[in-house]
Structure 1
């Protein structure tokens, strides 16, 4: 089993050709990659997170477990892992090639425009060898200003259970906090980068494919799982415009093994079309807006149990829902 140092080397948060290597603090992308290791969001979320829980924290989680067992449905705190999204019975799957055509049609007037920054809700599972898995729901809003400065707001909230307590990680130990609890609020000074995913993404499918390869530090064609991870990274940095949505849809239409399964309602209550890729030990579900072809969400579900980590087949390991 790889230790944390192996995971850090694999993530390569500060590549030798990075714009700030050896010359100042980590850039935004490096911070994101480190956060993926520490907090389990994004493509490294399947890594095992080890927490040292205090007696007080164990008591909180134990009390929460009792609440889940004995309290009524109106008093249950929002700490349970989300269930996999279900395809609507009788819904008609829309082929990805058709979705790409719809996205092209929606992009004819060029509106809406590309916007740097993101608004995303995530659910990420943390696992340890001696405690049950827990899911941490987080909402993150990144907004860029005209002077190239930006702000980042991160709050603990679960839109599935508005107003209820939320499980969050504080000082390395998970515990219940109020819905909407501010985890961090930061302002970053002006910064520029000509490297993906910080640089402006193109809306030509061929150029966008090369852009995503560079963002993932690869010089060869991306596999379907790698493409889905690259799309996640892109949407964690940019709110795509109609033309960029169309380019992404065209790339996804050419991806091998990504099959249409029908209509779904995502975790924010939005209708979508679902596409599934079955990998080794996991299933990725892509959710797209049925009219514009924009990516609404990505879900990663375990298909193989790992009892030593408390992971069961059907557990949602991570989920992202992007908003505009």
Structure 2
């Protein structure tokens, strides 16, 4: 029982130092975490959990981040589920400086279209672990849509665009491509703090919003990228918000333009790399014409033989869509 209580405390989706939740309802991310905890399989069954972000990992998280491929029998022995390869920069492509993208985004935002929308549509690949199985990549697509009355729905589907039509590894085990993992409807929610409050499109105000969103200091490039990911997991940015965000990214230190990439959904974009100095590298992919964030990838930069982690292994990747 003591071990279970420790797990519950560690998995608390609403920490005591998160004042913006107060006594109000959980946001959809916290609800999802709590639901996954409450409905996890009992001991003795195969249970999967997501690793902590590598930029703040402990030894246990490094174990969770081992990248291995699962090969299934079938036609040609092709992998049905596998860890994605890191994105590669197109040879001889010309890097576009972030400040230039910021200028183009400001022009593109002139007519205010497209508009900001609450909710998100994201395809993700992230490493999961089991007590008795090798860690493997878990791909899923999540769509969150809000209604005018403040209620919203969340649909999570097991799918991997890079292996269309093949079985997909999930917390439930192997399922068919397109299998609905969860479909939930949430009652009306309102709030005057992030992420429920509307993100501003003024860069200075947006920075303050992001700092409140993650309870941190977004003047750190690492935390700015954390906040960007959290923002995009709650909102689909409009042209003006994307322009404000890319201006903050242009002012950040350490983001290097490296050239053109094709993301995991087949979209072309410009890549910007940030080496965090903690054994991890993050690659931000932007639409160079509008400044919209297309994706964010985290890879390891050094081997950890004890845990089976190799330089270049992908820990997680998110691709956002409208």
TM-score range with shorter-chain normalisation?
0.7 to 0.9
Residue matched to 2:219: 222
Q: Call closer, same or farther: CA 1:213–1:141 in 2, change over 3 Å.
A: same
Q: Which runs of 4+ in 1 moved over 6 A?
A: 35-38
The yes-or-no answer on 1:13 pairing with 2:10 is no
Larger displacement relative to structure 2 (38-47 or 248-257)? 38-47
1:1-324 counterparts in 2 under 5 A? 13-16=14-17, 18-21=19-22, 23=23, 26-31=26-31, 39-40=49-50, 43=53, 48=60, 65=71, 67=73, 71-72=75-76, 76-127=78-129, 131-170=133-172, 175-218=173-216, 220-279=217-276, 280-324=278-322
In structure 2, C-alpha distance between the alignment counterparts of 1:42 and 1:94, rounded to whole Å: 32
In structure 2, C-alpha distance between the alignment counterparts of 1:8 and 1:300, rounded to whole Å: 27
Question: Which runs of no fewer than 5 residues in structure 2 stay unpaired?
Answer: 38-47
1:268, distance to aligned residue in structure 2 (A): 0.1
In structure 2, C-alpha distance between the alignment counterparts of 1:179 and 1:92, rounded to whole Å: 37
SS in 1 for 2:182: strand
SS in 2 for 1:297: strand
Contact 1:143-1:150 at 8 Å conserved across structures? yes
In structure 1, C-alpha distance between the alignment counterparts of 2:293 and 2:35, rounded to whole Å: 23
1:185, distance to aligned residue in structure 2 (A): 0.2
1:24, distance to aligned residue in structure 2 (A): 6.3
Q: Call closer, same or farther: CA 1:35–1:76 in 2, change over 3 Å.
A: farther
How many residues end up aligned between the 2 structures?
302
Question: Which runs of no fewer than 5 residues in structure 1 stay unpaired?
Answer: 52-60
Q: TM-score, normalised by structure 1?
A: 0.84
1:97, distance to aligned residue in structure 2 (A): 0.4
In structure 2, C-alpha distance between the alignment counterparts of 1:36 and 1:307, rounded to whole Å: 31
In structure 2, C-alpha distance between the alignment counterparts of 1:129 and 1:281, rounded to whole Å: 24
SS in 2 for 1:155: strand
Q: TM-score, normalised by structure 2?
A: 0.84
The Cα offsets for residues 59-89 of structure 1, whole Å up to 9 and x where unpaired, read as xx99x5353xx852xx624311000000000
1:306, distance to aligned residue in structure 2 (A): 2.3
Contact 1:120-1:139 at 8 Å conserved across structures? yes
SS in 2 for 1:228: helix
The Cα offsets for residues 19-76 of structure 1, whole Å up to 9 and x where unpaired, read as 554x46533353366689984388579675799xxxxxxxxx99x5353xx852xx62
1:161, distance to aligned residue in structure 2 (A): 1.4
SS in 1 for 2:185: strand
In structure 2, C-alpha distance between the alignment counterparts of 1:97 and 1:6, rounded to whole Å: 45
In structure 2, C-alpha distance between the alignment counterparts of 1:32 and 1:42, rounded to whole Å: 16
Contact 1:147-1:190 at 8 Å conserved across structures? yes
Contact 1:50-1:129 at 8 Å conserved across structures? no
Contact 2:14-2:21 at 8 Å conserved across structures? no
